[in-house]
Amino acid sequence: MGWVVRRTDQRLLKVSPELGELLQALQNAPQSPTIAELADLVPEPWSPEEVTMAVRAMEPHGLLAGATQPVPCRHHRFSLDHDGAFIFKICDNGAQALFQRLAPWAARLRHSPLRWAPLLVSLAGLLPLAHTVIAPEGALYQPLAAMTYLGVAAALILTTAVHEFAHGLTLTACGRTPRRFGIMLFYFSPAAFCDVTDAWMLRRHERVAVASAGIIAQTCLGASCLFVAPAFDGDLAVGLTWYGTMTYLGAMANMLPFIKLDGYIALVGWLNHSNLRANSMRALRNRLAGIRQDDATAPRWLAPFGLGCVLVPVFLVWLSLTALSPTLIQFGTAGRGAFIVLLVAVILAAAVQGTRALVSVPTGHRLRLAIAGTLLAGLVLLLPIGTSDSHGFISQRDGTLLAPMVVTDPAPATGTSVDIHRGGLLTGPSLTTGTVTGTQRCRVPATAASPIRSEMLMPESTCLRITPATVQPAGSTGRITINHPPRPLGLVTWNQAESLIRALITT
């Protein structure tokens, strides 16, 4: 256990229990004591020499009045901030006033049986969600009209604000208030955020409640939409189903414990281990570099957890790049240029992080860290993974299917077997199989390659020609998937990079 101390700039710092007792003795002293007087005020085993060392250690962190105070970082109502290379924030630093006005109502709700209602609704929503997912011709596997699609997207963006507001309201109900609220770009995706650092001043179960409040709020909204969707028909029913499902999908991603999302915050709150991510990556670095751990009480799973904290962001960034690349490349020279700039920025950020890790260890351990890190990366790249390619299709009058290819994907060989599904928000269960019989140049409606229902023709491209085992209705759309046997992760990544480079240099 540790103590949480608030600095003059409102930043919270976690200190050891012994240092907390020293600060408390200093705070309770009637006047500024000398080192010897302060040593007499604190319990054993503090000595004047140890007090002197502690005071010197605290001065750079702005914990002592009269020492050089940290410059407050929030002079203005709005400010820009970042948390790593891929998280940028626009902060409203005056959010505390709003939540203070809501504090009496939030406190009453905390002690009311109604506080369990959102959680119960969220859990009950799993039933219609499961029914929707397993229906092969259900609403999840139908394209949406453009306006409905935009409405769902707008609702999801607004839901992130509700999600973050729930964090702040729960913190307020527990007796503390958020100090910042705002919007951010999180790994290339728009989102909102609420600074709930004060949760560290709460009890353990309250910290977990604050961290979980956003997920419960958004899935409660999603469950409500899933329950009422069958009462409607047409695009409204499909849109409600899409929205409800996406709130649960977002909640699943949000529970990942390896990046600074709600799952991670709940985990560190429950374990009472602040800076778990940084400490675990440091433990991994020390393990690879052969540096002895100073903390003998550190759990044995800390270094493996650090490996997850390293790999998951790399996976997310690579996934984002491969998803963005086909869209950007289709915009010609400007799109290619934008993608190259983005790719260079990612490579530079990775190089900076790697260099920082290398120089953060003593000189004698750097060679071992470089060799061990390279070997570990090689082992990860040797892991076999199964992959699949997915393409949209439209059925022709002659019974064949035309599936426009993504510019970064290689063409499959003639005779390749494919699975055929309905496609919408998700790729549905398999309806039948088919066989690739060749390729041809074609122009197909946008519906064939996107979840948006539109008769607008896409630019001419190379399309797969597929003969299905069961004839599909003419004009129907969906997805085909081509499953590949497990291959080493390194080979999969190399093939993706090779296809991407080929697409970039092809005019």
Pick among 3.20.20.70, 3.40.50.300, 1.10.760.10, 2.40.30.170: CATH of 387-488: 2.40.30.170
Residue 198 has pLDDT above 90, yes or no: no
pLDDT of residue 502: 77
Question: Are the CB atoms for 81 and 91 separated by under 8 Å?
Answer: yes
pLDDT in tens, 428-463: 888 899 999 999 998 888 888 888 888 888 888 889
| CA–CA separation, 203 and 174 (whole Å) | 9
pTM: 0.80
Domain ranges of the chain: 3-61, 78-271, 276-381, 387-488
Q: How many CA atoms lie within 13 A of 438 on its CB side?
A: 4
Mean pLDDT for 250-271 is 92
Task: Identify the helix (H) or strand (E) that includes residue 419.
Answer: strand 417-423
pLDDT band at 65 (very low <50, low <70, confident <90, very high): low
| CA–CA separation, 308 and 136 (whole Å) | 34
pLDDT of residue 507: 54
Residue 75 has pLDDT above 70, yes or no: no
Q: Is 346 exposed, middle or buried (0-12, 13-18, 19+ CB in 10 A)?
A: middle
pLDDT of residue 37: 67
CA 449-455-461 angle, 5° bins: 45
pLDDT in tens, 124-172: 999 999 999 988 878 888 888 989 999 999 999 899 989 999 999 999 9
Residue 194 has pLDDT above 90, yes or no: no
Give the DSSP letter string of 471-498. PPPTT-EEEEEEEEEEEEHHHHHHHHHH
Mean pLDDT for 231-251 is 94
Q: State the residue for tokens 């839901």.
A: 159
| CA–CA separation, 400 and 434 (whole Å) | 9
pLDDT band at 248 (very low <50, low <70, confident <90, very high): very high
In the chain, the percentage of residues whose pLDDT exceeds 90 is: 36
Mean pLDDT for 349-369 is 88
Quote the tokens at residue 190: 């728009």
Residue 74 has pLDDT above 60, yes or no: no
pLDDT of residue 95: 83
Q: Which amino acid is at 179?
A: R
pLDDT in tens, 81-132: 777 666 788 888 888 888 999 999 999 998 899 999 999 999 999 999 999 9
| CA–CA separation, 480 and 461 (whole Å) | 17
Question: Are the CB atoms for 197 and 265 separated by under 8 Å?
Answer: no
- DSSP secondary-structure letter at 274? T
| CA–CA separation, 434 and 415 (whole Å) | 9
Mean pLDDT for 297-317 is 89
pLDDT of residue 9: 58
Q: Output 12 or 324, whichever has higher pLDDT.
A: 324
pLDDT of residue 69: 47
pLDDT of residue 6: 67
β strands within 59-149, DSSP E: 78-82, 87-92, 144-145
Contacts 24+ apart (CB under 8 A), 55-58: 58/19, 58/23
pLDDT of residue 70: 47
Of the listed ranges 17-26, 140-149, 217-226, 397-406, the least confidently predicted one is: 17-26
In the chain, the percentage of residues whose pLDDT exceeds 70 is: 85
C-alpha closest to that of 127 among 256, 238, 248, 240: 248
Q: What is the mean pLDDT of the chain?
A: 84
pLDDT of residue 67: 46
User: In Å, how far are 186, 297, 391 from 190, measured between CA atoms?
Assistant: 6, 39, 26
